[in-house]
Amino acid sequence: MPYPTSGSATWFVTGASRGLGLELVGQLLRRGDNVAATTRSVERLTAALGDVDQARLLALEVDLTDEAAVRTAVATAQERFGQLDVVVNNAGYGFLGAVEEVSDSEAREMFDVQIFGTWNVLRAVLPQFRERRSGHILNVSSILGLTSFPGWGLYCSAKYALEGLTESLAAEVAELGVEVTLVEPGYMRTDFLRSQSLGLPARTLDAYPAVREMTATHQAMPGTQLGDPAKAAAAIIEVATTGSAPLHQLLGSDSVGLADARLDALRADFDAGRALARSTDIQAS
C-alpha cells in the first residue's frame, strides 16, 4: 500500500489557504502527519490554522504556474521530511460567465492554475514515486468535471481536462506502485462561491440572461450548501489511508445525484445516435 503503515505520513497539498485545502491541512496536522502546503500567502495560511500545532507544517508560498518554483517547493519538502507519501492537487477557483464572455486571458489563467499547475506538480513528484514504487496522487476535480451548467463553461472545461489527464495518469502508473484518485465534490459550505474564490468575466452581454440568473443563484448560495468540508477532508484522508477508493470518488449526496443524472443523459444520447454512428463504418466487401 502506498500509505505508510507506521509512523507519520508526509502530504503535499496545494491550495491550502481556504476551504477544503485549509480544512485538510488542519486535520492532517492534528493527526500528527507532516504537511507541505502551498499557498499564495504563508501569513494567511498560518493565521487561518489558528491554534493548530504547526510544528509539522512546511508552508510554501508558490506560484504553481512556475515549473521551476514548483520543483523547488517539492525538493524543499523532500529535504525537510525525507519523502512525500500523498500529493493532493487542490488549488483552483471558480468562474461564472457565458462562453462568449470569457476573454482569452481569463481562459488561459484558469488553465494555467487548474491544468498546467497540476501538471507541474505531477512532473515534480512522479520521479520519486516511481523510484520508490509508492505514493498516492489525489486530484481534486468537481462534479462539474462530470456534468455542466450554463455559465460554468470555463470552469467545467478545466475540470473536464483534469479528469482526462488523471484517468490517463492512473493507467500509466498502475503497474508502478502509484495510486491515483479523482475526488469529485458537490457543493460544499466553503467560501468557493464568494468573491475571493469566484471569478467573473470583465465583459458581460445582455444576450445571456440565463447565465446572469445562474450567477445570482450561486452568489446567494453560501451557507446553504449540503457538503461539510470537515467531512470531505476526513473522506480524503480515508481514501489515502485505506487505498480502497475507486478512481472516481464522489463526495456529497448532490454529487451522487448529479452524476447519476449525467449517466442517464449520456445513455439516452448514445442510444439516440447509435444507428447513425454504426452507419459510418466501412462496409466489408
The answer to the question of residue 94 being in a domain is yes
Per the structure, the complete domain to which residue 244 belongs is given by 10-273
* Edge-to-edge order in the sheet of strand 57-61: 57-61, 34-39, 10-13, 86-89, 136-140, 179-185, 248-251
Catalytic-role residue among 17, 142, 159, 208:
159
What's the pTM value of the predicted model, to 2 decimals? 0.94
The answer to the question of residue 281 being in a domain is no
The answer to the question of residue 231 being in a domain is yes
pLDDT band at 165 (very low <50, low <70, confident <90, very high): very high
The answer to the question of residue 104 being in a domain is yes
Tell me the per-residue pLDDT of 103-148, one tens digit each, with 9 for 90 and over: 999 999 999 999 999 999 999 999 999 999 999 999 999 999 999 9
Tell me the per-residue pLDDT of 183-229, one tens digit each, with 9 for 90 and over: 999 998 887 777 677 899 999 999 999 999 999 988 887 777 888 89
Q: Which residue has the higher pLDDT, 7 or 81?
A: 81
The C-alpha cell of 151 is what? 455559465
The answer to the question of residue 285 being in a domain is no
Q: Does the annotation count 155 as an active-site position?
A: yes
The answer to the question of residue 4 being in a domain is no
Catalytic-role residue among 17, 134, 142, 155:
155
Catalytic-role residue among 17, 93, 134, 141:
141
When divided into structural domains, the chain yields a total of 1
The pLDDT assigned to 6 comes to: 66
The answer to the question of residue 280 being in a domain is no
The answer to the question of residue 283 being in a domain is no
Residues 193 and 96: their CA atoms lie apart, in Å, by 10
Average pLDDT of the segment spanning 14-37: 95
CATH of the domain at 174: 3.40.50.720
Tell me the per-residue pLDDT of 48-64, one tens digit each, with 9 for 90 and over: 999 999 999 999 999 99
Residue in the block written with cell 445562474:
214
Q: Could you count the other beta carbons within 10 Å of the beta carbon of residue 42?
A: 17
Contact 158, 114 (CB under 8 A): yes
